[in-house]
Amino acid sequence: MLLLTTIVGGAAFLWPFFADHTFSEVHGQDLPWLFAVVLGLLALVLLSQVTSVGLDAKQVAVLGVLAAVGGALRVLSAGTAGIEPLFVALILGGRVLGPGMAFLLGNLAMVTGAFLTSGIGPWLPFQMLTAGWVALGAALLPRVTGRAEVALLTAYAAVSSFAYGAVMNLWFWPFLSASAAPTGASFEPGASVLTNAAHYGLFYLATSLGWDLARAIVTSGLVALASRPVLRTLRRAVRLAAFADA
Amino acid sequence: MIELQDVAVTYAGAARPTIAGATLRIDEGEFVLVVGPTGSGKSTLLRCLNGLVPHFSGGTVSGRVVIDGRDTRDHRPRDLAEVVGFVGQDPMASFVTDTVEDEIAYGMETLGVDPTAMRRRVEETLDLLGLASVRDRPLAQLSGGQQQRVAIAAVLAAGPRVLVLDEPTSALDPVGAEEVLAALHRLVHDVGLTVVLAEHRLERVIHYADQIVVIDGGRVSPLRHPADAMIDSPVHPPVVALGRSMLWSPLPLSVREARRAARGLRGQLGHLGHLGPVEAGGPVGPLGRSGHVSEPGADGPVTTPVNNEPTKAAVGTHVTVKRDGIVALDEVTVSFADHAVTAVMGRNGAGKSTLLLGLAGLLRPSSGSLRVMGQDPAQLRPSARVGVVGLVPQDPGVLLYADSVADECRAADRDLGAPPGRTAALVREIYGELPGDAHPSDLSEGQRLALALAIILAGSPHVLLLDEPTRGLDYAAKGHLVGLLRRIANAGTAVILATHDVELVAEVADRVVVLADGQIVADGPARSVIAGSPAFAPQIAKIMHPVPLLTVADVSAALEPAS
Amino acid sequence: MALVAHSRHRMVHPVAWWAWGIGLAAAASHTTNPILLVLIVVIAAWVVVERRELGAIDAFVPFLLIGLGAIAFRVVMTVVFGNGIPGGTIILDLPSVRLPSWVAGIRLGGPVSLEGVVAAAAEGARLATTLACLGAANALASPKRLLRYAPATLYDIGTAVVVALTFAPQLVELAGRVRTARQLRGHSGRGLREVARIIVPVLSGTLDRSLDLAASMESRGYGRVPALSRRQRTGASSLALVGAAGVVAGLFGVMSPSIGGVFGLPTLVLGVLVSAGALMVGARTDTRTAYRRDPWRSPEWILSAMGAAVALSFLLAESRGIPGMALAQVPLAWPELPWVPAAILAACALAIPATPLPPRLAARRRGLTHVSPPQGEVS
């Protein structure tokens, strides 16, 4: 299920590169909305599947509280360029919780942020998915300990900051594809993958590289500084909560 | 209703059981009080009653716990929800939703109660706990007492016949605590609920209890009559301490009973004089604070000069502070002497914390001036400020960041510019040995306070501020704190504490400043301000009134020359 | 006044407001006619002012600002990169740079035509208006209320979100206290290192509370309803998988008609339906109940009908090529107004008389004017 959602998600972001010429020309403007709806629905189905075994009270509480950390950080940092400590919560939280819970955490943190600001918009499903990926990635990184783990997570924080920006920009890029699009940086329906990739690259450079750079610096800096004590605190909590009974 | 048969609980990794030998039979409609020092296993016993131990917190339980015919071995807490309601210490941490009505309905929603029945029960519960007027308010905007009543309402709505409460008032101010206890009293007497309650401020609850269970070092006593139990209980309120030292029998549990027993004592000590009416800065009773050593553990007689032009360590002149558009302090002029302990009292919202924050340099007055050791604390850099004024906040946990006690001490030495090892030495001096590898969150309230206090003291401040330091402390930890604060004051520091705890004030304060609505309404020696006040008088003062004695030690000392 | 008071102040079902808002948003995404777009924003704003949910965060203005940002962004991009509109009216001539061929020989700067800028602004305005409509939905019915109507299969997730929403303000407050405490230990509380320092106590404090919360939830019966039986679960899972697979297949079919042929769209729709079905299957067996749900009565029907009608009329008008739905780019011309969609759009403003005044707004108005008697006495 996670795989299928990821495929749909990938399609949602990457369709401008592959979609059929005529189709894109006619429906290019509607597709991002269509994907927002479809992706939102699939995210819900995925969430219901992941939790169909029933989360116990502790899991719900820990997830809820960590999502609150993420959501609150998002609200606090709203509008400050690049300062997105949310990523720290996602990466470190995801690292400790393990893949399934990590993906949930990413989703929930974004939902919480959106609810807190009453900001449910078409971008939310995309953010949920991408944040889920970021947290999932942290959980899937190889197991190392001590300084190596700090270094690994710091590097991952930097990489994922850029990746998040690049992927998130993709979803609204096609809005530029209408007849009045700026030349050279916009989506050209029917053009080759390479052309469009080059166009997108330019678009990305022009619009969000600066922000993502700031985000990468802040996030990896915070991860480098805070990851050791934070991971220990989180692991202690997970240990305390792990009195699973039969 | 509740039956425990030889129950013992051992947590994983622990060498010996946390509680053992618990055999109790609690009948319907009883109000049972569980008493014992911090860490004696009160919480564990209470959590056994609804199956949180072992199903939630882990541990191995031997023996049997049967509630209304259901064995907790086969029933998880959630299966017992309509039999036992469990309420914890911090109401805000127990809320799932954010408005009163939703919170009360939440439990019934998960239990699948039919919507019409649910609507009716919510209304009934709102009335039962007097919450109807705040039904659609956000929980965060309620007072502590209201929040705790919502927490009780939230478990009651599911219809349990037993209510288990783990220190429900320890995080509340006296007014809030009174509200909660009055509500519980009504539930027992009018509704016939069975209540099992743990509490360490015994003076608040002991007269409500039908039966008492004493836990000491994990040994659980059988149910006992309160007056019998108090004869040898390791924890007891001041009224019991007086009764025990006077060998009164039967032991009085309330001020009213004790006043009857103390008739002769008051006559014997009548020569100490009568208390005049209390005025702001009014005349002092004939007995000065410095007349005798009243605190065990003070190193030498307390020689604080009360009226002899003490050095002014902190001075506020016409200080006005506005917070969120409300005047929190209104033209307050006050000064604090060094070598002395000053207590700042008053209702919640009277301006106590604001005054402390101002003195600590964390708030800037909108007009007037604040000077600590001749400097404006808000102008000082934080690194310079720690040597002038130190504040121990209400929740000492916010001062702690490291993941072990030893790390915390090392970090504090660096932070405050103290020589390495100073904080650790202070911790030993204040508390004794703390486990160096323990996580600060695993410490008891008393240990956490000791650690926070050591950190602040490592900066060697001239003025030490404490905001509500006794919240969650048991009698032993409080006694310890009293001795410590006296020693610190005797060493020359100005100690200022904001507190609701009249017993603490009676034990430790030289001077009391009472705030109301941001203004000073009384300011004078502790004895004259609190002894005659119905709101602020400690238990002993109420018993001995009009003889101006505040503590058991005062009474014993006053008797000594006579005998 | 008497009419409204008679029907008693109540909250309108949040789903109805969202249907209304999404309908308007869908309509907006099918036109570039500035008159229609402005009309949509005006109607949305008017309804928000009259019927917004007090106490929730007002999302309308921020969404409007994001929309304005989108317009500005489009215009700036057009000025810098130029666009394909063959406009004759040059309003600005920037120095131009031609980038090397590996970036596709893009030209930066150069002449800027009025037609190009107007077209870009109209495209931006379309996006902005769509966003404004969603902002209106957020302001009219806070997403938190919407959460109560999530299907029961999402109950755990919904609870986690509710917990998160309850905790977040407490967290912000705790973070403030920890920052103050940093000063007590001689730090300034500013800078990246300080932020890193604050995270630990905040986190450990909240995690400890989360355990208390879990104990409280457990004691109150959380999780008592057994999760679905194994058979139901496999049923729901396979349904979900089939649905998702259908969606994937359908999407690729839609995007590349050469492979998928005519089956693309039906497969997609089917996939979506099956997925939604998977959500509902579990909900049926759930025994949990809900407290004081908002009823679904005539105002709710009217609102959702309005949303559907306006979206449909714009969609049809655009696909039929009715003049005035799109802004004429070359040559620039003031667009005419397509009457039918515009009339249906105007009818959406009737949402105000069709719905009761929300209780809090009503209370505030009473408080402000002191004219109307309290509601009980009117009826």
- Judged by a CB distance cut-off of 8 A, whether residue B132 touches chain A is no
Helices and strands, number each (H, E), in chain B? 21, 19
Whether the predicted pLDDT of A85 surpasses 80: no
- Judged by a CB distance cut-off of 8 A, whether residue B142 touches chain C is no
Could you give the residue ranges of the DSSP H alpha helices within chain C?
2-6, 14-28, 34-51, 60-81, 114-140, 143-147, 155-184, 192-219, 230-255, 257-260, 264-285, 298-319, 339-347, 351-354, 359-369, 375-378
Q: Which of residues 417-476 of B touch A (CB under 8 A)?
A: 439, 441
Residues of C with CB below 8 A from A64's CB?
159-164, 167, 210, 213
Q: Do C227 and A198 touch (CB under 8 A)?
A: no
Strands in B19-26's sheet, in edge-to-edge order, are B70-71, B60-67, B2-10, B19-26, B219-220, B211-216, B31-35, B194-198, B162-166, B84-87
List pLDDT tens digits, range B14-60.
888 889 989 999 999 999 999 988 878 888 999 999 888 888 888 88
- Judged by a CB distance cut-off of 8 A, whether residue B76 touches chain C is yes
Count how many domains chain A has.
1
Q: Do A180 and C78 touch (CB under 8 A)?
A: yes
With CA atoms as reference, the chain B residue closest to A234 would be B403
Residue A32 within a domain: yes
Q: How many CB pairs under 8 A join A and C?
A: 310
For chain C, which residues score pLDDT lower than 70? 1-9, 55-57, 81-88, 97-109, 189-192, 225-230, 233, 252-264, 282-287, 329-331, 367-379
CA atoms within 13 A on the CB side of B200: 26
- Judged by a CB distance cut-off of 8 A, whether residue A108 touches chain C is yes
Strands in B340-345's sheet, in edge-to-edge order, are B389-392, B463-467, B494-498, B340-345, B511-516, B519-525
Kindly state the tokens that stand for B481.
């704190």
Residues of A with CB below 8 A from B403's CB?
229, 232-233, 236
- Judged by a CB distance cut-off of 8 A, whether residue B516 touches chain C is no
Residue A204 within a domain: yes
Q: Which of residues 91-130 of B touch C (CB under 8 A)?
A: 92-98, 101-102, 105-115, 118-119, 122
Percent of chain B's residues with pLDDT above 70: 93
Chains near A (3 or more Cβ pairs under 8 Å): B, C
- Judged by a CB distance cut-off of 8 A, whether residue B407 touches chain C is no
Rounding to the nearest 10 degrees, give the CA dihedral for residues C298, C299, C300, C301: 50
- Judged by a CB distance cut-off of 8 A, whether residue B56 touches chain A is yes
Question: Tokens 């360029």 belong to which residue?
Answer: A81
* Residue C61, amino acid: V
What span, in angstroms and rounded, lies between the C-alpha atoms of B151 and B156?
9
State the CATH number of the domain containing residue A127.
1.10.1760.20
Could you give the residue ranges of the DSSP H alpha helices within B377-491?
382-385, 405-415, 422-430, 445-457, 475-490
What span, in angstroms and rounded, lies between the C-alpha atoms of C346 and C340?
10
Q: Which residues pair with B316 in a beta bridge?
A: B334, B370
Whether the predicted pLDDT of A29 surpasses 90: no
Residue A232 within a domain: yes
Contact yes or no for C274/C242 (Cβ under 8 A): yes
With CA atoms as reference, the chain C residue closest to A27 would be C255
**What element of type H or E holds B527?**
helix B526-530
Q: Which of residues 148-167 of A touch C (CB under 8 A)?
A: none
With CA atoms as reference, the chain C residue closest to B386 would be C186
Say which of B95, B111, B382 has its CB closest to residue C224.
B111
Contact yes or no for B392/B458 (Cβ under 8 A): no
Indicate the domain borders of chain C: 2-149+297-373, 154-219, 230-285
Question: Tokens 């209780």 belong to which residue?
Answer: C359
Q: Do B78 and C204 touch (CB under 8 A)?
A: no
List pLDDT tens digits, range B290-347.
333 333 333 333 334 444 455 788 899 999 998 878 888 999 999 999 899 999 998 8
- Judged by a CB distance cut-off of 8 A, whether residue B383 touches chain C is yes
Choice among A144-148, B170-174, C132-136, C285-289 with the minimum mean pLDDT: C285-289
For residue C162, give how far its alpha carbon lies from the nearest alpha carbon of chain B (Å): 6
Whether the predicted pLDDT of B211 surpasses 90: yes
Choice among A7-11, B409-413, B521-525 with the minimum mean pLDDT: A7-11
Q: What is the pLDDT at residue B201?
A: 85
* Residue C156, amino acid: D
DSSP state of A88: H
List pLDDT tens digits, range C69-127.
888 877 887 777 666 666 667 777 777 766 655 544 456 667 777 877 888 888 888 88
What span, in angstroms and rounded, lies between the C-alpha atoms of B282 and B307?
12
Kindly state the tokens that stand for C97.
């740079």
Residue A172 sits in which domain range?
2-240
Q: Which residues pair with B524 in a beta bridge?
A: B512
Whether the predicted pLDDT of A40 surpasses 90: no
> To probe the interface with B, which of C190, C220, C222 has the most B CB atoms within 10 Å?
C220
Q: Do A61 and C81 touch (CB under 8 A)?
A: no
Say which of B79, B96, B399 has its CB closest to residue C224.
B79
Angle between helices C339-347 and C34-51 (to 10 degrees): 10
Kindly state the tokens that stand for B20.
């053992």
* Residue B519, amino acid: Q
Q: What is the pLDDT at residue C71?
A: 86
Question: Tokens 């131990």 belong to which residue?
Answer: B53
- Judged by a CB distance cut-off of 8 A, whether residue A20 touches chain C is yes
List pLDDT tens digits, range A189-204.
656 666 677 777 777 7
Q: Do A236 and B401 touch (CB under 8 A)?
A: no
Angle CA B90–C212–A232, to nearest 5: 120
Residue A246 within a domain: no
Say which of A229, A236, A245 has its CB closest to residue B55.
A245
